[in-house]
Amino acid sequence: MKKNMILYVLVGVLVAVIGFNACTPDYETNFEEKTLVVPDKCLSPIYFNIEGGEKEITVNTNVPTANWTATSNADWVKVHKTDGKVTITADPSSLYTTRVARVNIAYGHQSYDIVVTQFGKESIILIDGKREGVIKEVSATQKLLEIEVVTNLNLDNIVIPDTVSWVKLAPVSRLSEDASTQTLAFALDVNTDTVPRFCSIILQSSDNYDYITTFIIKQLQRGYIVEAADSVKNLRVPASGKTITIPFEVNGPQGTAYTFEIEESSKNWIEPVSTPATRSLRPVSESFIVKPNILEKERVGTITFRSTDPEENSSFVVTIIQDKFVPVPPQNVVNAKATAGNGFIMLSWMMPEHVDFTTMTISYFDPVFKREIIKTIDNNTTVQYKIDQTFKAAGEYEFTIKTFGPTGMETETPVVVRGRSEAAPDFLPVELTVDMLSTNAQEPLEGPIANLVDGKVNTYFHSAWSISINEPHYFQLDLKKGIEGFRYDFSTRHNGDGGGDVKRMKIEASNDGITWIEVATHSYTLPGSRGATVNGQEVTMDNVYTKLRFTPLARRSADPINNSWFNMSEFYLYEKNIYTERWAEAQL
């Protein structure tokens, strides 16, 4: 029992010792938190004028001064820290721009930024006391414009738009007596346009790019002028005569901007091809026919071109010198050849080096019509001629080409050329022109009727959809000569969904445009592709008619149309040929 008591005492002492040691801390627990605070009122942006200055910033901290930082990101802003404050100092500024810096005060993660702004000198760029709204007006022919600019900046950025080619910055040959004034000079091209033109110019300085001054140069319009190169003012023409073209430049409409006058003594041998007939000076020309000279002496005439504008003293004179007539047989054409076509033969040739003839003839015997045929060409510039109504069944044709001088003297070297024709077709193409076309339903927003005969599949005619037409839409042909039978084709619109493609169409004919006779109604199998040609059908009529009307009754997206729209790319007409290959075979 005593042993147990002793054991209990020893265990108790051991536990007490352990418990005492466990309750004793092994480090110092009495410490102070380090803080750094810049009051909110001191964090407001700081503004200095051009002279600079200083500003004190309060810093509440228990951190030793050596352990926290105050820095500036600009060399013109200095910072000095002492216990409880930072002094920010800005140097004087010599700039014309505002500058900005940032001051940072920090201890560890505790960091504060203060924005420091200093205003620069006042920038001045003034034209007539203004920064904008100034217009400098110059005449159409003024070539130099000098402008006085009041400024305290280095005016080194003068911007002329890239789109303006008629204004260029020019060097200044003199200095202004006033140091605050700079002279700018601009070289100007002469305005040949009949309307004024404008150029807006920007003035800036690298001292302060944010300060901008603008002004406008307005160059007045030019009156009508005519000009020509010296090389066209003296023209020599052969005795056989020729059509001459005089190129020159004019800045007004033909027939209004200028006139020309042939001197009185030359009017019997110099004739205008057309009477004198957009804006800016542009190349134009006038052509004149110089008749053959049958006199054995040279002759001279003049043509004077004048502006119709009384304000412009603009004119030039062209002198025409025509060689004397030399009575010798004229030369003939060279390298003549014949090319076969369907129902025709195309003759072509080259001119001799010296053209001294005035007219030509082409003669041949036609075995189908059984007669001699002579074609006359009343000029000396034609280099090809189409012989129509030829036939494959006729075999080889022989053509004789002759030239004739001003007095009718015939060439001594006739040219013979032989050729064959391809088979004559059943239908011949009719040349359709815009003046033959009309419609009762032109859509005002797209697709003019003229597009039907412009030869371009990527254009189209569109009948009215934005306005109401209370009758079936149609287009009409007023032919220059009557026809009794024909065939036609048309092309569909090249783009879109194809909904306007004509699927069924009525055809009517008339001679007076009042009474119309229905001659056919055709339906078509429409192609799947866009801009494709739809083959029409042959139409035979009981009379000869000069007017044809085509009225679509159905389109791809609507059947029937019911007074609604349609579109079409191209329209082709072919006249029934009377003189077919089968007819020719029967004549031989």
Domain locations in the chain as residue ranges? 36-118, 125-219, 226-322, 334-424, 429-576
Query: Among 4-13, 265-274, 329-338, which is the least confidently predicted range?
Result: 4-13
Calculate mean pLDDT across residues 246-266: 84
CA 359, CA 379: separation in Å to the nearest integer? 5
CA 216, CA 137: separation in Å to the nearest integer? 8
**Residue 299 in contact with residue 214, Cβ under 8 Å?**
no
Q: What is the pLDDT of residues 131-165, one digit of tens each?
A: 999 999 999 999 999 999 998 888 889 999 999 99
According to the 3-state scheme, what is the secondary structure of 562-575?
Answer: CCCCCEECEEEEEE
Calculate mean pLDDT across residues 48-56: 91
Calculate mean pLDDT across residues 285-298: 89
pLDDT of residue 462: 97
Q: Which fold has domain 36-118?
A: Immunoglobulin-like (2.60.40)
Hey, how many other C-beta atoms are within 10 angstroms of the C-beta on 142? Answer: 14
Name the superfamily (CATH) of residues 226-322: Immunoglobulins (2.60.40.10)
**Residue 358 in contact with residue 380, Cβ under 8 Å?**
yes
Buried b (16+ CB within 10 A) or exposed e, 207-237: bbeebbbbbebebeebbbbbebeeeeeebeb
Task: Give, for 7, the enclosing helix (H) or strand (E).
Answer: helix 2-22
Q: What is the pLDDT of residues 504-536, one digit of tens each?
A: 999 999 999 999 999 999 999 999 899 999 998
Name the superfamily (CATH) of residues 429-576: Galactose-binding domain-like (2.60.120.260)
Could you tell me which of 170, 108, 178, 117 has the C-alpha nearest to residue 148? 178
pLDDT at 222 over 70: yes
pLDDT of residue 250: 84
CA atoms within 13 A on the CB side of 34: 10
Q: What is the pLDDT of residues 427-455, one digit of tens each?
A: 999 999 999 999 999 999 999 999 999 99
CA 55, CA 399: separation in Å to the nearest integer? 110
Does CATH number 2.60.40.10 belong to domain 125-219?
yes
Asked if the domains at 36-118 and 334-424 fall in one CATH topology, the answer is yes
CA 565, CA 461: separation in Å to the nearest integer? 11
Higher pLDDT, 179 or 166: 166
The first and second tokens of residue 388, run together, are 């129509």
> Which residue is it, tokens 């429409």?
526
Does CATH number 2.60.40.10 belong to domain 334-424?
yes
Q: How far is CA 572 from CA 196, 409, 453, in A?
A: 47, 46, 8
Mean pLDDT score of the chain, rounded to an integer? 89
pLDDT of residue 275: 54
Calculate mean pLDDT across residues 242-256: 81
Query: Among 188-192, 483-487, 550-554, which is the least confidently predicted range?
Result: 188-192
